[in-house]
Structure 1
């Protein structure tokens, strides 16, 4: 994935690809490339969500530990 890619940018590009495929506005010649790119974007978004979930769980766990220690 290119540097500087964010979840929001990836999601927007994924929406655009989905719309193009649904509207049949792309040719068969580029369909495989679009599907490949969509697959990369989905994996990128999943990883970002997993990472955010882990970070949130870590923060809430630390918070819970601090509250229990008081």
Structure 2
């Protein structure tokens, strides 16, 4: 499986495989290969989601560190 797949591409291929299996378009001889491919795509999607979550957490932590900390209350609006 190529690492150049985007999350969207992998997810779309996975949806096609699931639809084929659900509608019975996959014969018994192909089923094992379809399941194996689906498993690879799920692993890829999970890896990309985990990496994205880590990156977002890192960026949010950096943003929080950059914001000035204020001990005073914000001014009340009238």
TM-score, normalising length from structure 2?
0.84
Task: Flag as ranges the 4+ runs of structure 1 deviating above 2 A.
Answer: none
Instruction: Pick the structure with more helix per residue.
Output: 1
Alpha-carbon shift at residue 2 of structure 1 (Å):
1.1
Higher-RCO chain (CA-CA 8 Å, sequence separation at least 6): 1
Number of residue-to-residue matches in the alignment: 70
5+ residue gaps, structure 1, are none
Aligned twin of 1:50: 50
Equivalence map 1:27-38=2 (5 Å): 27-38=27-38
Greater gyration radius: 2
Alpha-carbon shift at residue 3 of structure 1 (Å):
4.2
